[in-house]
Structure 1
């Protein structure tokens, strides 16, 4: 009797079957395209038949591959149910979070666990902004972007992304009798949280600028890396006011411009509807919703003060 393939390989097969593209499956699984391709090739060799046919624009399931999808999905659902029941009994919650949101959630989770030691929340940072509950071992996830529309997944709005320039206090010398303008950024190094510079261009556009006020620039793959560089005094970045409120309060950074601009993106707490949320997850959902409400109120107060 052949040994069973590993659960990781079978999960990879299900993600590839859903995406029908090795590259997109690799992004979901946070591995390389080559790793996904090798896993599928190994699984096909183990089973003795092809699971996919390669086409010009992607993949297609073979007859044998299509027959495997539903039974494997059902099997993983049973496994997830069993793990969820175990997690509910132990009080352990596994939460995925994009690295950019760690500044907001991690201090709050530590405070929560000090207040409620019986509720253990394990937060895993990821460069991914989404989640695939069928393929990833998480009870909930912070999701960034547009409102998720995943079947069988609840997504509670936490707060919107609101952008403004941010830098170390020693890097900025305010003018005595004049409000700051983008012209004051000339000669400073602009730290870009994205390769396409869209966050800076969006904020500058609200000022009526169509270009960048400085030719000095450094680019990063995540907001968190750009923020860390800004705290070291290496330049001025665009920061999300909601995510950095603790840093602003502690004066690790300053936001020299009163103008804040919404990007259209937001943060959501996503979790599967089935199995029904455990008591531990229900407590976490309620608590995080309250924390997000406090953040939204502080942001509204800051906005009103800037407009006054």
Structure 2
């Protein structure tokens, strides 16, 4: 009972919200005239509300010099607090209108790797938005699904981890198919890249394992070539570069810029091959039969309409 009494007393001591609103507008514009225009009221109404607020607080909030006004020290203190409160109220109102209003839109939070977002998601999301105009998506990218920032609780994970978190339903997806890729122009100027030995001895763009320690297997050029009975240590000691980077999107961009040969993960590069921007200089590939990608979604939202629509759309996509 005491808490309710204290809360009521606090409300009774609160100044008029209308007056505070007029004050915030005047403080932002440093002008009663501009404040009146912003709030679609008269300048006299702004002056009256601010005068009442100053009487309530017992101190001037503005220094009035001709037609301009400037906050007093007390006004600056009150403005900081009032502006923050209005921002919080506006954000809460926006969330409520968005989630509970008559025209509420749904928002799903997705989490995947930067490469998957850049090379897979970005191509296909327009079709999802076209078919689901009432659903918004928040996309979070990470290389480390097991050590995300506190408070991040995605609705959907797309990952290579079979059990990314408790409380999620997991659907197995595809195995990785990995093969060399380069541009037609690069192969034309480097015909030796049409053989495994020529690829090994040429400019190799390599995905490094840095930041990928959570992934059980890591396939780089040394592993891929070894599977095909070639030792990367047999490369010439001088000549072509061996470039390492842990950003796969950058790696593919370098390939597209005719800078070398990289390993292509089929689900990421197949559209570029279909468009003719990339090609497979050799037919050999590597399939990781023991591992898969997974779609994981929150168990407590298994019957949520927005999540169901995204899940069904995702599973219907080519390459999944």
Q: Distance in 2 between matches of 1:87 and 1:205?
A: 57
TM-superposed CA distance for 1:140, in Å, is: 1.0
Q: Distance in 1 between matches of 2:100 and 2:112?
A: 19
Q: Distance in 1 between matches of 2:280 and 2:198?
A: 13
Alignment of 1:159 with 2:174, yes or no, is yes
Counterpart of 1:204 in structure 2 is 225
Alignment of 1:169 with 2:208, yes or no, is no
Deviations 1:25-45 (A, max 9, x none): xxxxxxxxxxxxxxxxxxxxx
Q: Distance in 2 between matches of 1:212 and 1:100?
A: 28
Structure 1 residues 281 and 236: CA distance shift in structure 2, 3 A: same
Gaps of at least 5 residues in structure 1 are 1-81, 297-308
Structure 1 residues 245 and 284: CA distance shift in structure 2, 3 A: same
TM-superposed CA distance for 1:127, in Å, is: 3.1
Which one of 203, 228, 231 corresponds to residue 189 of structure 1?
203
Q: Distance in 2 between matches of 1:271 and 1:242?
A: 21
Q: Does structure 2 conserve the Cα–Cα contact (< 8 Å) formed by 1:165 and 1:236?
A: yes
Aligned residue for 2:232, secondary structure, equals coil
Q: Does structure 2 conserve the Cα–Cα contact (< 8 Å) formed by 1:133 and 1:272?
A: no
TM-superposed CA distance for 1:87, in Å, is: 9.0
TM-superposed CA distance for 1:179, in Å, is: 10
Which one of 268, 281, 290 corresponds to residue 256 of structure 1?
281
Deviations 1:226-252 (A, max 9, x none): 111111111111110111111111122
TM-superposed CA distance for 1:281, in Å, is: 0.3
Counterpart of 1:234 in structure 2 is 259
TM-superposed CA distance for 1:218, in Å, is: 0.5
Counterpart of 1:138 in structure 2 is 154
Structure 1 residues 174 and 122: CA distance shift in structure 2, 3 A: same
Aligned residue for 2:319, secondary structure, equals helix
Q: Does structure 2 conserve the Cα–Cα contact (< 8 Å) formed by 1:223 and 1:239?
A: no
Aligned residue for 1:164, secondary structure, equals strand
Structure 1 residues 138 and 253: CA distance shift in structure 2, 3 A: same
Aligned residue for 2:250, secondary structure, equals helix
Q: Distance in 1 between matches of 2:180 and 2:136?
A: 35
Alignment of 1:290 with 2:311, yes or no, is no
TM-superposed CA distance for 1:260, in Å, is: 1.6
Which one of 97, 103, 125 corresponds to residue 109 of structure 1?
125
Q: Distance in 2 between matches of 1:139 and 1:241?
A: 26
Q: Distance in 2 between matches of 1:269 and 1:227?
A: 24
Which one of 142, 152, 160 corresponds to residue 126 of structure 1?
142
* Structural RMSD (CA): 3.3
Aligned residue for 2:173, secondary structure, equals strand
Gaps of at least 5 residues in structure 2 are 1-94, 211-217
Q: Distance in 1 between matches of 2:193 and 2:171?
A: 38
Q: Does structure 2 conserve the Cα–Cα contact (< 8 Å) formed by 1:189 and 1:214?
A: no
Structure 1 residues 222 and 130: CA distance shift in structure 2, 3 A: farther
Q: Distance in 2 between matches of 1:242 and 1:212?
A: 29
Output aligned runs, 1:45-64, within 5 Å: none
**TM-score, scaled relative to structure 1:** 0.59
Output aligned runs, 1:77-116, within 5 Å: 86=99, 90-102=105-117, 103-116=119-132
Q: Does structure 2 conserve the Cα–Cα contact (< 8 Å) formed by 1:160 and 1:266?
A: yes
> Which of 93-102 and 255-264 deviates more?
255-264
